[in-house]
């Protein structure tokens, strides 16, 4: 299986660390990418790290991942709760998909409790803060490299 992992981030996550630190913490998305690169390097994975405020760009990256990636970590942001199109795209991708939310969405407003993406995700992380991204990568490394790697 490919050791390339796509890490995809949805709308407003470019503001991470700059607004609402009480919910999303102080780390910026640049910090998260750096953490992911460190974890990936220790686990022999490569990553492509993207963020967009446009639904179609996220869909296009999922399509790109179909040809080259061994897994996807996705924080779809608010598209989590609205996007059948992102779910449909993920359903065309065979390797493992991990859905990652910085906040514990089930403790928040009722409209955040449903996720279209969870209909496809093989695992879901919520409430681990930005650490969720590296935990997701550790899990994908285990799935790709095996338990002893
Ligand atoms: O907890 C998460 O990671 C979310 O996916 C974040 C989304 C929210 O709509 C989901 O319900 C849960 C919002 C991303 C907005 O990110 C910001 C970060 C810092 C400041 C403002 C927005």
Q: Please write the tens of the pLDDT for every residue from 96-148.
A: 999 999 999 999 999 999 999 999 999 999 999 999 999 999 999 999 999 86
Nearest CA to ligand 1 atom 13: 77
Nearest ligand 1 atom to the CA of 13 is: 16
Q: Which domains does the chain have, with CATH numbers?
A: 4-145 (3.40.50.9100)
80 CA → ligand 1 middle, Å: 10
Pocket residues: Cβ below 6 A from ligand 1: 12-13, 15-16, 19-20, 24, 75, 77-78, 80, 101-103, 105, 112
147 CA → ligand 1 middle, Å: 32
57 CA → ligand 1 middle, Å: 18
Q: Can you tell me the distance from the alpha carbon of 27 to that of 29, in angstroms, rounded to the nearest whole number?
A: 7
Establish whether 24 is a catalytic residue: yes
Q: What is the pLDDT of residue 47?
A: 98
pTM of the model: 0.97
What own/partner pairs with CB < 8 Å and gap ≥ 24 does 11-14 have?
Answer: 11/52, 11/53, 11/54, 11/77, 11/78, 11/79, 12/53, 12/77, 12/78, 13/51, 13/75, 13/77, 14/51, 14/53
Q: Is the pLDDT of residue 82 over 70?
A: yes
Alpha helices in 29-83 (DSSP H): 29-42, 55-68
Q: Could you tell me the maximum CA-CA distance found in the chain, to the nearest angstrom?
A: 40
Nearest CA to ligand 1 atom 9: 78
Beta bridge partners, 2, equal none
- Which of 140, 141, 133, 138 has its CA nearest to residue 13? 133
| Structure letter (DSSP) for residue 124 | E
Q: What is the pLDDT of residue 147?
A: 85
Nearest CA to ligand 1 atom 18: 16
């Amino acid at each position: 299986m490919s050791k390339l992992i796509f890490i995809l981030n949805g709308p407003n996550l470019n503001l991470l660390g700059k607004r609402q630190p009480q919910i999303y913490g102080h780390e910026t998305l640049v910090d998260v990418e750096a953490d992911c690169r460190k974890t990936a390097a220790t686990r022999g994975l490569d990553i492509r790290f993207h963020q967009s405020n446009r639904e179609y760009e996220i869909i296009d990256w999922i399509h790109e991942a179909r040809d080259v990636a061994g897994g996807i970590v996705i924080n779809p942001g608010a598209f989590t709760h609205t996007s059948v199109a992102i779910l449909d795209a993920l359903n065309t991708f065979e390797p493992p998909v991990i859905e990652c939310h910085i906040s514990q969405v089930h403790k928040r407003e009722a409209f955040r409790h449903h996720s279209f993406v969870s209909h496809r995700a093989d695992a879901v992380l919520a409430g681990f803060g930005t650490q969720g991204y590296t935990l997701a990568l550790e899990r994908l490394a285990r799935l790709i490299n095996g338990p002893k790697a």
